Amino acid sequence: MARKFPLHPAHPERICWGCDKYCPADSLQCGNGSGRTQHPAEVLGEDWYEYGDWGLEVEPEQKSLTLPEKG
């Protein structure tokens, strides 16, 4: 089962968002030879999911949630 893509992660700069592995930025596992892929909120702002077709089903209560940080 795929994880839900977080709308407002607590520290998006700490994770690579390029695939479903969500690797730490300093330990990429995909081996594509490039740097970390930024979260859309880092590039487009906090309301990034409201514009365009991202293929996400956003529920009203999810818009204001911030996911807890994983240790």
What is the pLDDT at residue 51? Answer: 86
What are the structure tokens assigned to 17, written together?
A: 């968002």
> What 3-state DSSP class applies to 15?
strand
pLDDT band at 20 (very low <50, low <70, confident <90, very high): confident
Note the pLDDT tens digit of each residue in 26-47.
Answer: 888 877 667 889 999 999 999 9
Task: Answer yes or no: is pLDDT of 55 > 70.
Answer: yes
The domain segmentation of the chain, as residue ranges, is: 14-52
Phi, psi of 3 (to 5 degrees): -75, 155
| Average pLDDT, integer, range 2-24 | 88
Q: What's the whole-number average pLDDT of the chain?
A: 80
